[in-house]
Structure 1
């Protein structure tokens, strides 16, 4: 007759982690075993579930707080209707993309009004704010535009060294092609105005080499070449 294992006791000195249960559970079904598992582990399960729920709630709270904050920021930006309000908004929210936009609006308005020295300083501030607002492509483009327009305003104001700042944008391989092309074309026009054909040709050639074949400034480049005979390459001498 087989041994009745249900009544056997562990040998003396055996300190293994044995689960001692009532003899009714020796042949327990699945439901009973699940109940037993719950009784033994409910504290751990409850604590783990509570921690998970708290984590999810914390994430949702932050998400909705952040969305609400951004909505409030957008409403505050929209309410800025003049230069003073935009400057104040930008100064209160460094690191925000809308601060860059607000300061760019200020600079653009001053440029339109012919206040080139003031506009250049405003563009400088917009460029600085763009550096604080992250590396998103749109923010980087705004920062590059601010650098270029600051240089253009200084050129209009007759400040020395403006062409070097424009050239810095033209040579910036990370700058958007539209801005690089405009910088190159501007430098070519400056050189033509000075009668420096070699410098103008250098930048026009750079447009051919560094920009896509169908870039947005192509027609402007061709118009400049046609308007200035010295830029048209002379015909190669006939072979003898």
Structure 2
């Protein structure tokens, strides 16, 4: 009762079968041709559609996660009202512009309280956090002026010269740096 071994299908036999089907359905209507195409390529079509859907879902999830992270950071910033909370927020988010804003607020407050050394530290952290030139030049100028007020004249002159020569900073900041350099004894 031994059964004869089944013929192995080879790529040549498949191709021959496909060409016979193509000849048979060449004169048929569009529906039959689509059905033959579907039967021949359904695995590739299903895989392509599934891959496209996964890419779309992944892209949308990435966008959602990014906006949620930004919203959570903004909410945490709004909750931080006193100096210790603001400093904890700034330290946690020191690589972001919002963390830089928190450092800038702390630096401005320390400067107003005439704690120039503390202000210089916060201005330096804000300068490191910012990527936007508009904020960066503000922190840089604050750092230079804090150093000047803290009687760290060599550091202040160095910072003011850096500001004055930085072509990416606005003219007003560069002009302020040049003015401060001109009045230093």
Calculate the TM-score normalised by the size of structure 1: 0.65
The equivalent residue for 1:37 is 37
Mapping of residues 1-240 of structure 1, within 5 Å: 17-18=15-16, 19-21=19-21, 25-130=25-130, 135=131, 139-161=132-154, 162-190=156-184, 194=185
| Per-residue CA distance 1:174-230 (angstroms, 9 max, x = gap) | 22222111111222233xxx4xxxxxxxxxxxxxxxxxxxxxxxxxxxxxxxxxxxx
Name structure 2 gaps, 5 residues minimum: 1-11
Select the structure that is richer in helix: 2
Secondary structure of the structure 2 residue equivalent to 1:20: helix
| Per-residue CA distance 1:151-173 (angstroms, 9 max, x = gap) | 11121122231223212211212
| Per-residue CA distance 1:92-141 (angstroms, 9 max, x = gap) | 123211011110110011111111121111111111222xxxx4xxx233
Structure of larger gyration radius: 1
Name structure 1 gaps, 5 residues minimum: 1-14, 195-240
Q: In angstroms, what is the RMSD of aligned CA positions?
A: 2.0
Query: Structure 1 residue runs of 4+, over 6 Å off?
Result: none
Distance 1:46 1:178, change over 3 A: same
CA distance in 2, matches of 1:147, 1:156: 14
